[in-house]
Amino acid sequence: MLCPESLRVQAYFDDQMDAVTAADIEGHMGNCARCRALLQDLQQLRTAMRQELPYAQTPPALRARIMRALDQESVTETRQAQRQGRTNWRTGSFWAGAGSGLGVAALAATLAVLFFAPLLRTPVVDELVGAHVNSLLSTHLIDVVSTDRHTVKPWFAGHTDVSPVVADFDPQGYKLVGGRVDYLQHQRAAVVVYQHGQHVINVFSWAATERSAPNNVTRNGYHLAFWKVGDLEYCAVSDTGWDELLGLVRLLQGVSAREASE
Amino acid sequence: MDDRRRRFELQVLPHLDAAYRFARWLARSPEDADDVVQEAMLRAYRGFDALRGSDVKAWLLTIVKNCHLTALTQQQRRGTVPLPDEHDAQDEQALIATGPDPESATVSQDQERTLERLVSALPDPYREALILREIEDLDYREIAAVTNVPLGTVMSRLARARAALKKQWLQQVEGEPHAVP
């Protein structure tokens, strides 16, 4: 037999009561052995469920499938917007008509991208974008927090398979904020994290597996700039503009060049 | 990336794992769960502008639940699986207090069953409420929204689900009845 107060004991256990009601039910439990036992059961069951039930995470393949579906959805929306734009322009002047020609060109370009995009996909790009997005979404942006390259660089030595160039460019607007390890291309890749205004730029580096670096590419709105120094491959990923991203790339390449000539 | 997509990725995507877990508990197979989650994320993206407030997780899980129901209806229309029937007793508190557990018929008495299998065997409405509470940490109001039932029903479902599990599982673990007579 359960006490008629059992639902209120449950609500107390689930933390769904205000302080006054909670105090009231605590008073009741002081006098009711059945409700004390119920509370104990609820706690035991919760502990067991949280320990024993699987806490699944989305499989990477499904996550990738969903991101692709969202990409297509975004493109569809853009096309619809363009179509609406053309409809409006039809009532406009000659120059607006010329503009609608541009709209068609943009549509054609969009379709071309849609058509060719799968051919251009390389696994490393997907991996990098995934790693970049994850770093922004999770708390795993930085493993070693430091604005000092003499702290970050040695830290990589103990935690990754590579020793990338690390430098702070705060005066130039690229502030070194730390480093991180990501598993990438079957290696422990080093990630140097910079802040540029409100944007985070992740600079990935790993032991190159191919003769030449991939071409720079934009994926899901993120720009990816690739370059190679010796046997190290670098990729800077961010949602900043191309100019700003390539600005950091040039600074890093400059440091590499100086280190090589020393 | 356009601003809307960025906001979606920052606000909704962090709950993808919760959506996936919930779908796994709802759907009949991992493949069904994959489809449900993908459809739910697309619907969420399309309806993202209508989202107000901070209750993103409950909002997303509601969409997952609706997608699951749609998929079930379609399967049923194709004649593959029956819909689970809903059978909430009117006076549930009295039922818990005096009657036999309604889950006794559906939950196997097999002593070897793990907690996971016991939870899986709960009738859908009870399992849903319990998972949303214990695993996804939703409050009663949010569970009521996701499962589209009144608050009182959420409370009684939780109580019945827990009572059934306690009976099946705690007794099995401890080898003797736990409740004080």
Same-domain pairing of A115 and A127: no
- Chain A: residue nearest B171 by CA? A41
Q: Which residue of A has its CA nearest to B168?
A: A45
Report CB contact under 8 Å: A222, B1.
yes
Rg (CA), chain B: 18
Distance in angstroms (rounded) separating the CA atoms of residues B59 and B20? 14
For residues B103 and A195, which has the higher predicted lDDT (pLDDT)?
A195
- Rounded to the nearest angstrom, the minimum Cα separation between B180 and chain A is 6
Flag if B178 and A70 touch (Cβ within 8 Å).
no
Note whether A112 and A131 are same-domain residues.
no
- Asked if A33's CB is within 8 angstroms of B119's CB, the reply is no
Residues A24, A95, single domain; the answer is: no
Would residue A57 count as lying in a domain? no
**A·B CB contacts under 8 A:** 126
Determine the pLDDT at residue A143.
80
Strand order through the sheet with A187-196 = A144-145, A175-184, A187-196, A199-207, A232-238, A222-229, A217-219
Contact call for B170 and A50, based on CB within 8 A? no
Judgement on whether residues A45 and A170 belong to the same structural domain of the protein? no
Average pLDDT estimate for B122-131: 95
Number of domains in chain A: 3
A131 and A44 in one domain? no
The residue among B2, B3, B4, B16 with the most chain A CBs within 10 A of its CB, best to mutate, is B16
- Contacting residues of B for A58, CB less than 8 Å apart: 16-17, 19-20, 37
Q: What is the pLDDT of residue A91?
A: 41
Tell me if A59 is assigned to some domain: no
pLDDT (tens, 9 = 90+) of chain A, 262 residues, equals 678 899 999 999 999 988 888 999 999 999 999 999 999 999 999 998 988 888 888 998 999 999 999 888 877 776 776 666 554 444 444 444 444 555 566 666 655 555 444 444 457 888 888 888 888 876 667 888 777 888 888 888 878 888 899 999 999 999 998 888 888 877 788 999 999 988 899 999 998 877 677 888 888 888 999 998 888 899 999 988 888 999 999 999 999 888 888 7
Residue A192 lies in a domain: yes
ipTM for the complex shown = 0.75
Maximum alpha-carbon separation in chain B: 63
Phi and psi angles of residue A81, each rounded to the nearest 5 degrees, phi first: -60, -40
Looking at chain B, which residue has its C-alpha nearest residue A15?
B139
Question: Which tens digit of pLDDT belongs to each residue from B12-25?
Answer: 998 999 999 999 99
Question: Quick check: A222 and A132 in contact, CB under 8 A?
Answer: yes
Q: Check CB contact under 8 Å for B169 and A45.
A: yes
pTM above 0.90, yes or no: no
Q: Do B17 and A58 touch (CB under 8 A)?
A: yes
Residue A81 shares a structural domain with residue A182:
no
Asked if residue A136 and residue A18 are part of one domain, the reply reads: no
- For position B170, what pLDDT does the model report? 63
Same domain, A113 and A131: no
Pair A137, A95 in one domain: no
Residue of chain A whose alpha carbon sits nearest to that of B6:
A221
Using CA atoms, how far residue A144 sits from A76, A159, B53, in Å, is 41, 11, 34
**By residue range, what is the domain housing residue A78?**
64-120
A181: alpha, beta or left? (left if phi > 0; alpha if psi -120 to 50): beta
Instruction: Give chain B's domains with CATH numbers.
Output: 3-77 (1.10.1740.10), 92-174 (1.10.10.10)
In whole angstroms, what separates CA B32 from the centre of its chain? 15
The answer on A252 and A147 residing in a single domain is yes
Look at residue B36 in the predicted model and tell me its pLDDT: 96
How far, in Å, CA of B19 to CA of B62, rounded? Answer: 9
Q: Which tokens is B144 given?
A: 């009521």
Residue B35 has pLDDT above 80, yes or no: yes
Question: Looking at the structure, do residues A101 and A217 belong to the same domain, yes or no?
Answer: no
Instruction: Identify the CA nearest to A205 among candidates A180, A232, A225.
Output: A232
CA nearest B102: which of B122, B116, B119, B85? Answer: B122
Which residues of chain B make contact with A15, given a CB cutoff of 8 A? Answer: 139
Contact A7, B156 (CB under 8 A): yes
Q: How far is residue B46 from each of residues A133, A159, B73, B147, measured CA to CA in Å? A: 21, 42, 22, 21
Q: What is the residue-wise DSSP string for chain A?
A: ---TTHHHHHHHHTT-S-HHHHHHHHHHHHH-HHHHHHHHHHHHHHHHHHHHS------HHHHHHHHHHHHHHHHHHHHHHHHHHHHHHTTS-HHHHHHHHHHHHHHHHHHHHHHHHHHH--HHHHHHHHHHHHHHHSSTT-SEE-S-HHHHHHHHHHHSS-------BGGGTBEEEEEEEEEETTEEEEEEEEEETTEEEEEEEEE--SSSPPPPEEETTEEEEEEEETTEEEEEEESS-HHHHHHHHHHHHHHHHHHHH-
Question: Which of the listed residues A76, A93, A120 is the one where a domain comes to its end?
Answer: A120
Residues written for chain B: 181
Residue A70 and residue A87 in one domain: yes
Q: What sign for the dihedral angle of Cα A10, A16, A21, A24? A: positive
Give the domain-ending residue among A120, A144, A167: A120
pLDDT at B43: 93
Paired tokens of A43? 């706690």
Which three-class secondary structure state does DSSP give residue B149?
coil
Distance from CA of B76 to the nearest CA of A (A): 25
Residue B120's nearest CA partner among B19, B26, B18 is B26
Q: Has residue A1 been placed in a domain? A: no
Question: Who among A6, A49, A136 is closest to B135 (CB)?
Answer: A49
**Residues in a beta bridge with A144:** A179
HSE of A7 in the Cβ direction (CA atoms, 13 Å)?
Answer: 17
